[in-house]
Amino acid sequence: MSLLKYIIKRLLVAVPVLFGVITLTFVLSRFMPGDPVLAYMPEGHINWVVYEQIKQSLGLNDPIIIQYFRYLGDILVGNWGLSLSIANRMPVWELIMQRLPRTADIAIFAMIIAAIIGIKTGVISATHRNKAKDTIARGITLLGVALPVFFLGMLLQYTLGYTIRIDDQAIFPTTGFKTATFTDPPFVTGFRMIDALLSGELYMIPDYLFHLVLPVFCLAFISLAGIVRQTRSSMLEVLEQDYIRTARAKGCKEKDVINTHAKKNAMIPTVTIIGLGFGGLLTGAVLTETTFGLAGIGELLVLAIRNSDYWVLNGMVFFFAIIFIAVNLITDVIYGILDPRIRY
């Protein structure tokens, strides 16, 4: 099977998965406590006539099966609905795209750093098994697995934002994504650095990167643990293979044995961890965004649940499902690049 046919097959398989996600999310959201219309109306000033009019206009008085098929039809034509209480009648797709760049920035930077350092550390740990470097690497892994992300975030804020100061100034910003006196660059892509570059307002880029240091470090450290552990495990397994012994017996330098023969073959399980980890960072950065005051899609999900905004909640879960399917597909394609023996 060619790569193109494999991709088409995977996309066709994804259709019933997405259908199941839409159905399950829709049903569960309707059984959530709370009322989206009440959350939308001013607290303490509820006009029940207006309340019923809004419910009727939104179709919430219809049987749930009618609501479901109406929503399914809207999804099929690309209409994800309108946010009711979070952003007054703003299209859900636009709302997600407005929040996505901030989450994507910290997820991309964190995963790049975690992947580079994690793979290098895992290889060093495996090639120095049961020695000091291996012990240190395993200690870092254990700490990354055991440490809650919100606790690490608050620890970084306390130490680098309040305790250790230079000229009575925090070393790194502890909240937000820009200096309060800075404006936003003209909107082009929604990604602050790209928009600042395109508009020529380059002074915004270092300021933005400076604000991302703590949240990126926080996510990178937590992600690092799984990558180091998987890389070490895979490398130890590969180093026991016959072709590694043969390469050494032929007089290959140990550096070439590790980098040319062992590392590439050990990367397939690690790629899986990186791919799923990146999807997890995009969809699960709720605690990090809340801790550092970043208005990303994680915070948007919390607001949707808190305000019973069905349309935003359903749209976000659907969006998350698309991300995970895409990440899994890309990961499988990378498998074939790393190992030519894999055929589709």
pLDDT in tens, the chain (344 residues): 677 888 888 889 899 999 999 999 999 888 888 888 887 887 767 778 888 888 888 888 889 899 999 999 999 888 898 888 888 788 999 999 988 898 999 999 999 999 999 999 999 999 988 899 999 999 988 888 888 888 888 898 888 877 877 777 778 888 888 888 888 888 888 888 898 998 888 888 898 998 899 999 999 998 998 999 999 999 999 988 888 888 888 888 888 888 888 888 888 889 888 888 888 787 767 888 888 888 888 888 888 888 888 899 999 999 999 988 888 888 888 877 777 666 66
Phi, psi of 166 (to 5 degrees): -120, 120
Q: Which two tokens stand for residue 141?
A: 């892994």
Provide the pLDDT for residue 295. Answer: 82
Structural domains of the chain sorted by starting position, each given as residue range(s) with its CATH number in brackets:
99-306+332-338 (1.10.3720)
Provide the pLDDT for residue 22. Answer: 92
The answer to whether 134 touches 304, Cβ cutoff 8 Å, is no
CA–CA distance, 180 with 99 (Å, rounded to integer):
19
| CB contact set of 14 (below 8 Å; sequence gap of 6+) | 325
Q: Which two tokens stand for residue 243?
A: 């072709």
CA–CA distance, 329 with 81 (Å, rounded to integer):
27
The answer to whether 228 touches 137, Cβ cutoff 8 Å, is yes
Provide the pLDDT for residue 341. Answer: 67
Q: Which residue has the tokens 């790209």?
A: 194
CA–CA distance, 138 with 152 (Å, rounded to integer):
18
Is 0.75 topped by the overall pTM? yes
Provide the pLDDT for residue 343. Answer: 64
H/E element, 170: strand 169-170
Q: At what angle do helices 92-127 and 263-283 cross, to 10 degrees?
A: 150
3 state DSSP class of 166: strand
